Chain A
């Protein structure tokens, strides 16, 4: 029962987003059969990705030690108590998988918003300091004021937003986009990292270990309460993002054309930045910054679907986090590594590869 209550919302907003996307692409780009062809491809890829998310979700819940057989899972979900398994499934694996799927989807959306807005596949909240802003605020709250729960989420969101707006205004992003935004973001991130390191030296080693565990990005401390926090944020943010994304398509025509069509360019950009920050900050507050998911989801989805698609990005993000968490929990014997370590270690080579590839095309950062 709990499972049904949870998995449905985890994928439903993205589904709604997908149909809205499809309707949108039909209304804007339906001038040729080629466009309809890519539309079909996007839908097909989207369906496959959604299937992959479901499979990974179930795998995360049943596999591991101990293994839960599907009939046992059905019993547990039907409300029966299976000794030794019920607690693990209901209080540990299900919340972790739910949080992972939702956090991944939110990060994927957030990254794609920034990448499309700044017209650069390399611009993601990881790179431009938003993650560090949220993390610094949250660690300060944790270590200095002992915050936890929703208040911690609010603090992380505020931190991410302050940094994003600071970078945005320092880069004059109403007028310029792209390179300057990224560079200033990297500078701010480097400074915040020093502040974070400083905070880690101000406590005893156990608290520092806890803070580090959170800083790496992990699903292991997920609870239903935290899943609820993310779900609530997504219910608010996903429809708003879908609305803003339709404006993003007009923005892509160029600033002059967009103003000509009656769009307030500066305000639209600012709204998109706030939404992008909110999407990543609401997950960072719960799981810690899971490295590179926001960065990877967009380009991977684009690789698969042939063009930028927000629903596909969300699915890829969810699949990445679930897969990384699964790998970290099960592939290293007795050692359980947090999801963020896996995504970070694998994401960096991919980013470098992307840099090399965009170099060869002569359009890279």
Chain B
């Protein structure tokens, strides 16, 4: 089983030869990683500028610059641009958090298809938020956040327990099926609540598509400590992920405490994914797509994979958000819909490039 997993893992990663199963991960090509990192950082800056400039009232990048350096309250363009700042900041933070969560999930489960959306973490967080709205009338992010964390953690534990029981461990199909099953069950309960409570439905239907524009800067600031803690836990697990890529036994042989490491890293994932979901609603596929794109560019070593994912997540999320604003004028397509529409083809492509998905 380990063998099939490894060779499948190696499918879309040209940097790791399929035969190199027992070899340590290839050394990071530092100069290449730095170049990719710089390009991505430039991408974040440009897209942040576009995110401030594009919308129902379009402005140009020079005007954006003016508005940021020399704000003039009498200038309507400047005011409009300032109203777009929270949305852009949310996009950067959530994009980074979800991409990092996705990379870490793939590391923990040693599973190329792991993603907070596919594995039902978002559904768990969503149900918990609906319960919060319905039972306690909660409407603020500080209120949502604990529910979202609890829901995401619940899903994560259930999924991992179900999928990892048995001698084969958590194969891609098992994890995905367990996630789909759990998500469907949680959605049913959620629908039952929403059918009884029209006010909750009205609030929730706009949250569940995934939007960036609904939050203020203070909401983002509230969540920053959680993101920071999550990122810290995940980055501290870099060595664990690289060791796990060789298989559980090899990792244990290398002196890594596998069980405890997985729990620590899992906590980090829950903080990142739950926080992202609380801020922007369930955004699917971002955590799946970004780490794979980075693997194609710089290889599978988590030492380069995770920092670059942090940069690439905002590029995709801001790009999807900007695209959603101009694709169906005068209305906007929410960013969660855009990432799903962009991400699903990538997901299918990933499955198709694997020679064989065992059952």
Contacts and interface: CB of A to CB of B under 8 A. Distances in A.
B53 to A, nearest CB: 24
A105 to B, nearest CB: 21
Contacts of B171: 365
A119 to B, nearest CB: 8
A186 B191 contact: no
Given A187-B344, A209-B195, A195 B337 contact: yes
B201 A122 contact: no
Interface residues of A, number: 61
A126 B337 CA distance: 21
A5 B359 CA distance: 45
Given A190-B340, A365-B171, A198 B334 contact: yes
Given A195-B340, A205-B201, A186 B334 contact: no
Contact of B344 (A188, A212, A215, A335): A188
Given A198-B337, A201-B334, A291-B184, A183 B174 contact: no
A198 B184 contact: no
Interface centre among B185, B187, B347, B352 (most CB of A within 10 A): B185
Interface string B331-359: 10110110111011001100110101111
Given A197-B209, A344-B184, A348-B184, A190 B165 contact: no
Nearest to A351: B181
A320 to B, nearest CB: 14
Contacts of A363: 359
Given A201-B209, A341-B189, A189 B195 contact: no
Nearest to A353: B162
A360 interface: yes
A193 B126 CA distance: 14
A345 B189 contact: yes
A352 B178 contact: yes
A120 interface: yes
Contacts of A188: 344, 348
Contacts of B195: 209, 212-213, 216, 337-338, 341
B178 A355 contact: yes
B81 interface: no
B37 interface: no
A120 B357 contact: no
Contact of B177 (A122, A349, A362): A122
Interface in B287-320: none
A341 B192 contact: yes
B205 A180 contact: no
B221 interface: no
Interface in A203-218: 205-206, 208-209, 212-213, 215-216
Given A170-B348, A183-B176, A194 B182 contact: no
A176 B359 CA distance: 11
B352 A348 contact: no
Contact of A365 (B173, B285, B336, B352): B173
B188 interface: yes
Given A178-B359, A212-B195, A365-B171, A127 B188 contact: no
Given A122-B177, A194-B336, A356 B166 contact: yes
B15 interface: no
A200 B180 contact: no
Contact of A215 (B191, B334, B358): B191
B268 to A, nearest CB: 24
Contacts of A141: none
Contacts of B83: none
Contacts of A335: 196
Interface of A is mostly: helix
Interface string B155-167: 0001000110111
Nearest to A349: B185
A355 B192 contact: no
B198 interface: yes
Given A127-B177, A187-B347, A212 B118 contact: no
Contact of B188 (A345, A362, A364): A345
A351 B120 CA distance: 14
Given A212-B195, A359-B174, A364-B174, A126 B184 contact: yes
A182 interface: yes
B327 to A, nearest CB: 12
Interface centre among A180, A209, A359 (most CB of B within 10 A): A359
Interface in B94-145: 113, 117-118
A183 B168 contact: no
Contact of A362 (B166, B181, B340): B166
Contacts of B356: 176
A81 B241 CA distance: 73
B186 interface: yes
Contact of B113 (A183, A337, A365): A183
B70 interface: no
B184 A347 contact: yes
A50 B182 CA distance: 31
B71 interface: no
Contacts of A195: 337, 340-341
A36 to B, nearest CB: 32
Given A126-B184, A200-B205, A362-B168, A190 B191 contact: no
Interface string B23-67: 000000000000000000000000000000000000000000000
Interface of A: 119-120, 122, 126-127, 170-171, 176, 178-180, 182-184, 186-191, 193-195, 197-198, 200-202, 205-206, 208-209, 212-213, 215-216, 291-292, 335, 337-338, 340-341, 343-345, 347-349, 351-352, 355-356, 358-365
26 contacts: A170-B348, A179-B358, A180-B354, A182-B173, A182-B177, A183-B351, A184-B348, A187-B348, A190-B118, A190-B284, A190-B340, A194-B210, A200-B205, A201-B206, A201-B209, A205-B198, A212-B194, A212-B201, A291-B184, A344-B187, A344-B189, A348-B186, A351-B181, A351-B185, A352-B178, A362-B168
Given A188-B348, A194-B336, A212-B201, 10 more contacts: A122-B177, A127-B181, A184-B352, A186-B176, A188-B344, A190-B285, A197-B336, A338-B195, A348-B186, A363-B359
Please give me the 6 A-B residue pairs with the lowest Cβ-Cβ distance, nearest first. Answer: A348-B185, A344-B188, A359-B166, A194-B340, A191-B344, A179-B357
